[in-house]
Structure 1
Amino acid sequence: MDNHRVIYSEMNLAKNSKRQQRKSKDSKSSISETEQEITYVELNLQNAAEDLRGDDKSYQCKDLLFPPEKLTAGILGIICLVLIFKMVNPNSYDCGCCPEEWFTYSTNCYYISKEFKTWNESVMACASNNSNLLYIDNEEEMTFLDSLILQSWIGVFRNSSGHPWVALHGSTFELQIAETEYKYNCAMLHDGSLRSDGCESSKRYYCKHSFRSKAS
């Protein structure tokens, strides 16, 4: 009888041992599957992050290009700000002289910037001094101003290559502006002539305003 109990106990122990082994294998198998799932998720996240970075770069590259619609909207916004500024600050130079650091030519005052700015920034900088980004009235004025600095922005732009050049005050610009290979939409004074250039490039600029002489 005792021998039967011993044999029965040993069989139970063997069964329990096998069950534990099975459980151990099952748990290892489930751990392995979980690890595989985690690795899969990590790979997916990594791939998604790389895709986002790739998309970011493509968006950045796209943002570096300035479609005509964005350029036009930006320029029109700048012009509106300039007009509002002039309405709020309607001061004119009636003393027959120019402010300090400005110079006189004919009946106008001019300021040559020391810093380099984009076309839009130049427009705003001149507006803050109650003046306009340079508008050239004639070739004589252009020749004189060109002798002072090599290149500068002027207050002339166009919406796109298929549109006419216009001044900030809205009139069509009559002087010839040379085209460049890339058909830019902002105008500059360069080496005795006028030519187009990219509005986002940085250059020096002229500000200009007229004055009335003192009454004698």
Structure 2
Amino acid sequence: MNKQRGTFSEVSLAQDPKRQQRKPKGNKSSISGTEQEIFQVELNLQNPSVNHQGIDQIYDCQVPEQSNSSLNTRTQKVRHCGHCPEEWITYSNSCYYIGKEKRTWAESLLACTSKNSSLLSIDNEEEMKFLTAILPSSWIGVFRNSSHHPWVTINGLTFKHEIKNSDNAEHNCAMLHARGLKSNQCESTVIYHCKHKL
């Protein structure tokens, strides 16, 4: 893999995401408009009511320092250094594919596998807050064999976060929802997102 040094650029996220501007620093620019388009399109179309808290934590490769110029505008530094595909966003040490198609839980699992990633997983409370702030409801890589079995991840580990609506015997797959995690029928069609750890 070609090791290129990424070029920093600032992206201002005003309260109206359509007013984003990209201002390259320096004369080399290895950043395409794709990162900016992802922020604008995904935030504006998929979740127009989002308050953009946590957006200043979308990072490529390393966590840069952030600066706030006002209450309504958050400035962040974005760097594309080649670890994630351009269509994906990066948070902390993971790449996230923002899906647009609705699929069953099993179909979503296969779709993510075909992208050399896994169905969305949540490692901690901070990541869950970030994901609920920017993503619509989506499947996560957690399921159970029946209502008499524990929730487990696709890696076979016991899942420790609370999942709402677990009483329903037909709801054996988990999804991320605006208010946390909830169970759903595995055959329901829901938007999916994928995650790939760096």
Alignment TM-score, normalising by the size of structure 2: 0.57
Structure ranking higher in strand proportion: 2
Q: Deviations over 1:69-99 (max 9, x none)?
A: xxxxxxxxxxxxxxxxxxxxxxxxxx76211
Give the Cα–Cα distance (whole angstroms) in 2 for the partners of residues 127 and 158 of structure 1: 20
Q: Which runs of 5+ in 2 are unaligned?
A: 1-80
- What is the letter of the counterpart of residue 204 of structure 1? I
CA distance in 2: counterparts of 1:181 and 1:210, whole angstroms: 32
Question: 1:141 is matched by which residue type in structure 2?
Answer: E
1:117 and 2:82 aligned: no
> Offset at 1:206?
1.3
The aligned runs of 1:17-96 (5 Å cut-off) are none
1:172 aligns with 2:158: yes
Structure-1 residue corresponding to 2:178: 191
2:93 counterpart of 1:103: no
Stretch of structure 1 that moved more, 202-211 or 119-128: 202-211
Matched residue, 2:195: 208
Matched residue of 2:90: which SS? strand
Once the two structures are TM-superposed, the CA of residue 149 in structure 1 deviates from its matched residue by: 2.2
Structure 1 segments unaligned to the other structure (5+ residues): 1-94, 212-216
- Corresponding residue of 2:135: 149
* CA–CA distance in structure 1, aligned partners of residues 105 and 147 of structure 2: 17
TM-score, length-scaled by structure 1: 0.52
- Once the two structures are aligned, what percentage of the paired residues are identical? 59
**For 1:182, what is the secondary structure of its paired residue?**
coil
SS for the counterpart of 1:171 is coil
Contact 2:147 2:168 in 1 (8 A): no
Correspondent of 1:161 among 128, 143, 147: 147
Instruction: String of CA shifts for 1:37-88, please: whole Å, max 9, x gaps.
Output: xxxxxxxxxxxxxxxxxxxxxxxxxxxxxxxxxxxxxxxxxxxxxxxxxxxx
One of 102, 117, 122 as aligned partner of 1:136: 122
Shift of 1:179: 1.9
Return the letter of the residue paired with 2:127. Answer: E
> Do 2:147 and 2:167's aligned partners in 1 also have CA atoms closer than 8 Å?
no
- Give 4+ residue runs of structure 1 displaced > 4 Å after superposition: none
Counterpart secondary structure, 2:163: coil
> For the Cα contact (< 8 Å) 1:113–1:206, is it kept in 2?
yes
Q: Give the C-alpha shift of residue 181 in structure 1.
A: 5.6
Letter in 2 for 1:208: K
Aligned counterparts of 1:110 and 1:149: Cα–Cα separation in 2: 11
The residue identity in structure 1 corresponding to 2:186 is C
Please tell me whether the aligned partners of residues 143 and 153 of structure 2 are also in contact (alpha carbons under 8 angstroms).
yes
